C-alpha cells in the first residue's frame, strides 16, 4: 500500500511537471547568468526569470551553447515605469562572454528595447556584420510591451536572418554575401540583459528598480561543435528547410505592413550610414 502511494505521488509530480505547457523546461538547462549577482531571480520553478536594474548593477544571462543556425526566441515583458535610459535586450552575438570586442570577428543580431518616459517604448533592431554596426531600424510596436509577455524571435539560416515580433516579421537581412554583404559565418550564442548604456540617456533612479521578465527558454538551435559550420546548414533542422529560406507571400505582406506602420527610423534612409544591403532587404 505504501509502495503504491509512493508510485502514485511520483506519477502526480511528473504529471504536474509536464502540465507546465511547452515551457516545462527550466532556465538552467539552456542558460546561465553572466552578471548581476542577486539581480537575477529564478521564478516559477525555472520557467521565468526576473532581471533587475538598480544603481548598483543590471543583470544578464547567456546560452550555455554556441550555435551555427536556429530559430531563437524568448518571451519578454519589459519594465513598466518611466524608464528612459534602460535597455532590455535579447540578441545573438559571436563575441564570447567576458571577452572584449575585437578578439573575434564581431557579428551580432539585436532586439533591444529603449525605455522612455510615457512615450511608446522603442524596439531597436541592429546588426554587427564583420565588425560593422550602426544599422539600426527602430519601431514603435502595435502593443505596449510593458503589460504582457510577447514573443521575440530571430531566425538565422544560410539564406536569411529574420526578426519576428509575435510571429510578425519586422526585418529581414538576406545572405547576399555573393554581392559583398556581410553575413555571419561564425558561431553565435544567445544573450539577454537589462542595463543602462550611457548613450541611452540618464535614468531617473527614483523610478527604480526596473525589472524585466523572461519566459520560454528552450532554444531551437544547431549546436556548433567546432568542427564544420556547414553541419548547421543541414535540412535536418527544420529552420533550414526551403520554406524558411525566404518569407512566404503572406509574411512578406506582413513585413511590409509592419515596416510601413511601425518603423520610424531606418539607417537605410541615412546617406552616411546606409550600406549596399539596403537595396536587398526591402
Catalytic residue ranges: 108, 112
**Rounded Cα distance, 230 and 252, in Å:** 28
- State the residue for C-alpha cell 533542422: 237
DSSP codes joined into one string, 141-154: -SS-TTTS-EEEEE
Does 128 interact with ligand NAG (rule: CB under 6 A)?
Answer: no
Could you report how far apart the first and last alpha carbons of the chain are, in Å? 68
Interacting positions 164-223 with ligand NAG (CB under 6 A): 175, 177-178, 183, 185
Burial class (CB within 10 angstroms; exposed 0-12, middle 13-18, buried 19+) of 105: middle
Count of residues near ligand NAG by CB under 6 A: 9
Interacting positions 63-82 with ligand NAG (CB under 6 A): 82
Does 160 interact with ligand NAG (rule: CB under 6 A)?
Answer: no
**Rounded Cα distance, 229 and 188, in Å:** 11
Catalogue the E-assigned strands of 54-182: 59-63, 67-77, 87-93, 108-114, 122-128, 137-140, 150-156, 160-165, 168-174
Least distance to ligand NAG, CB of residue 178, Å: 4
Least distance to ligand NAG, CB of residue 86, Å: 13
Interface mask toward ligand NAG for 140-159; x: CB under 6 A: ------------------x-
- State the residue for C-alpha cell 534612409: 269
The residue among 65, 59, 78, 49 whose CA lies nearest residue 144 is 78
Given 9, 16, 56, 117, the residue binding ligand NAG (CB under 6 A): 117
Question: By C-beta, is 169 or 182 nearer to ligand NAG?
Answer: 182
Does 83 interact with ligand NAG (rule: CB under 6 A)?
Answer: no
Least distance to ligand NAG, CB of residue 82, Å: 4
Question: By C-beta, is 81 or 274 nearer to ligand NAG?
Answer: 81
In this structure, what C-alpha cell is assigned to residue 83? 524608464
Question: By C-beta, is 82 or 125 nearer to ligand NAG?
Answer: 82
Does 94 interact with ligand NAG (rule: CB under 6 A)?
Answer: no
Does 50 interact with ligand NAG (rule: CB under 6 A)?
Answer: no
Binding region for ligand NAG (CB under 6 A): 82, 117-118, 158, 175, 177-178, 183, 185
Amino acid at each position: 500500500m505504501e509502495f503504491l502511494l509512493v508510485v502514485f505521488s511520483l506519477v502526480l509530480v511528473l504529471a504536474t511537471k509536464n502540465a507546465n505547457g511547452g515551457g516545462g523546461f527550466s532556465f538552467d538547462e539552456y542558460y546561465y547568468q553572466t552578471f548581476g549577482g542577486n539581480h537575477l531571480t529564478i521564478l516559477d520553478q525555472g520557467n521565468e526569470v526576473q532581471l533587475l536594474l538598480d544603481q548598483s548593477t543590471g543583470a544578464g544571462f547567456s546560452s550555455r551553447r554556441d550555435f551555427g543556425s536556429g530559430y531563437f526566441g524568448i518571451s519578454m515583458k519589459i519594465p513598466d515605469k518611466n524608464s528612459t535610459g534602460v535597455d532590455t535586450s535579447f540578441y545573438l552575438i559571436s563575441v564570447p562572454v567576458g571577452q572584449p570586442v575585437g578578439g573575434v570577428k564581431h557579428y551580432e543580431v539585436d532586439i533591444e528595447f529603449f525605455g522612455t518616459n510615457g512615450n511608446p517604448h522603442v524596439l531597436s533592431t541592429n546588426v554587427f556584420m564583420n565588425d560593422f554596426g550602426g544599422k539600426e531600424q527602430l519601431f514603435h510596436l502595435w502593443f505596449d510591451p510593458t503589460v504582457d509577455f510577447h514573443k521575440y524571435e530571430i531566425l538565422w539560416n544560410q539564406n536569411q536572418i529574420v526578426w519576428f515580433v509575435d510571429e510578425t516579421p519586422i526585418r529581414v537581412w538576406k545572405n547576399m554575401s555573393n554581392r559583398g554583404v556581410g553575413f555571419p559565418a561564425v558561431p553565435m550564442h544567445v544573450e539577454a540583459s537589462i542595463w543602462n548604456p550611457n548613450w541611452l540617456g540618464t535614468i531617473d533612479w527614483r523610478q527604480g528598480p526596473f525589472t524585466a521578465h523572461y519566459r520560454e527558454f528552450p532554444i531551437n538551435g544547431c549546436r556548433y561543435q567546432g568542427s564544420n559550420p556547414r553541419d548547421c546548414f543541414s535540412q535536418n533542422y527544420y529552420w533550414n528547410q526551403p520554406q524558411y529560406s525566404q518569407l512566404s507571400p503572406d509574411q512578406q505582406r506582413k513585413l511590409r505592413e509592419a515596416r510601413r506602420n511601425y518603423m520610424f527610423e531606418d539607417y537605410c534612409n541615412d546617406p552616411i550610414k546606409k550600406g549596399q544591403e539596403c537595396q536587398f532587404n526591402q
